[in-house]
Amino acid sequence: MNRIPLCVDLDGTLLQTDTLLESLLVLLKASPWSLFQIPLWLLHGRAALKSELANRVTLGAASLPVNMELLAFLQTEKQSGRWLILVTGANQRIGHSVGEQIHLFEEVFASDEKVNLSGRRKARMLVDRFGKRGFDYAGNERADLAVWAEARRAVVVNSSPGFVQNVKALCELEMVFKPPAAGPRVWLRALRIHQWAKNLLIFVPLLGAHQWHNFSKLSAAVLAFFAFSICASSVYLLNDLFDLEADRHHATKRRRPFASGWLALRSGIIAAPFLLLVSILLSLLLPPALVATFAGYYLLTFLYSLRLKQIEILDVLALAALYSIRVVAGGYAAQVAVSDWLLVFSLFVFLSLAFVKRFTELQMVRHGKSDRVKGRGYRVSDLELVGSMGVASGYLAVLVFALYITNPIVTQLYTNPAALWFACPVLLYWISRVWLLAHRGLLHDDPIVFALKDKASWLVCCVLFIIGAIALPK
């Protein structure tokens, strides 16, 4: 039996996250104006800051991402009779909450409102309690070097090989747990590159005006596409950072890089404004009207991530508006007029798809214990109504398209406009099929992702393209 205690750090070690950053994000989401209070709290020291945050924010300890490899190691050591001590720089409320959740630790030491238990303070406390070389320590960051200098053995978690060598020079190395492989594929998932397909809507006005052969207009549309896509990735990062707990309660979103702990929160906080800056620089090369549209798009997406997604009905209207803004932006970029018909049609189509997202989320929790979707304003009892509103929106889009065909302007754009009537049953088929699959629980929670992978959706696109070619645009 090893009676030398193993003292375990929390942030970045036992947990694949940083509870201080998580607390800041939760607070800013609930009260953005708190951003101006944070520097005042920090003037009194990091311990005071952590205490203020802990008094205002409650993190769901049960949903925080745990380093499962380290946890398995600790469970084995516990069974062998080794003492396990949780020693963290996080506030004592968070430390004790995690300690009670995991049930492995004999004691929990954490920061209070006056003492930030990190680095040299943590080392002195452990030496006073267990003596020099009287404890082993599991940690992950540079501040822990002061602790390892006083420890008997080191368990190094989520650190680089070079850092491991630095620890090895201070004390005996017991175990090393490698960090998650946060390579390009993980970042591509975080940036949601597949969602860039939504920004193809920017090319719709150019196609509708039959100006796809105009190189200068096409080039402007391509530049707008990349500016919007990079901006969207910036917002996706912010969305994931502000929605960590809700994502962790979701059947599929819990595997997102930040929610699962595969990517550090700090890297996302840095990457989001950097991508925004890049997209702004690109947008400055485009017409001023597009820059204003771009600003409106970002503001709406930010408000959606921060608050609107939690308000029923407003959330789907915001999503539909974000899609329609892409169409407007495409018109400004290519400097072609966007018809009212196109805007109304796109609004109803995307409203239907937004309702599909909420419908599938409600289905996922229908047989669960909760009556609500985490982070949303809907209840499971709203399922049928949400479905009805979504189907109605989709059919209204087809009605708008049918009315457009009867408009005299169509004869000015097409030689054979009657062929466009065949698009109506094709659109009705696709919308009806999407909702039928959603009703059966066979639809991915994001209809755009579903459409990109669905063979029938690709076939529908090909048929619509052929119909457009038969209509012979002038």
Give the angle 46-60-89 at the CA atoms, nearest 5°: 25
In the chain, the percentage of residues whose pLDDT exceeds 70 is 97
Q: What are phi and psi of 137, to 5 degrees?
A: -140, 135
DSSP string, 435-471: HHHHHTT-S-SSHHHHHHH-HHHHHHHHHHHHHHHHT
Which two three-digit tokens encode residue 284? Answer: 């400055």
Q: Is this structure's pTM higher than 0.85?
A: no
- Report the pLDDT value the prediction gives residue 375, as an integer from 0 to 100: 62
Judged by average pLDDT, the poorest of 196-200, 273-277, 449-453 is 449-453
Per residue in 86-136, pLDDT tens?
A: 999 999 999 999 999 998 999 999 999 999 999 999 999 999 999 999 999
CA dist., res. 169 & res. 9, Å (int)? 20
- Report the pLDDT value the prediction gives residue 474, as an integer from 0 to 100: 52
Hey, which bits of 5-152 come out as E strands? 6-8, 84-91, 107-111, 136-139
CA dist., res. 149 & res. 160, Å (int)? 18
CA dist., res. 126 & res. 139, Å (int)? 14
Residue 368's pLDDT band, with cuts at 50, 70 and 90, is low
DSSP string, 96-136: HHHHHHH---SEEEEE-SS----THHHHHHHHHHH-TT--E
CA dist., res. 208 & res. 98, Å (int)? 57
**CB distance 244 to 258 below 8 Å:** yes
**CB distance 323 to 228 below 8 Å:** no
Give the angle 148-150-155 at the CA atoms, nearest 5°: 30
**CB distance 322 to 198 below 8 Å:** no
Q: Is 84 helix (H, G, I), strand (E, B) or coil?
A: strand
Per residue in 371-380, pLDDT tens?
A: 566 667 788 8
**CB distance 158 to 13 below 8 Å:** yes
Residue 443's pLDDT band, with cuts at 50, 70 and 90, is confident
Q: Is 153 helix (H, G, I), strand (E, B) or coil?
A: strand
How many Å separate Cα 66 from the centre of its chain? 19
The contacts of residue 430 (CB under 8 Å, 6+ apart) are: 456, 457, 460
Q: Is the pLDDT of residue 137 over 60?
A: yes
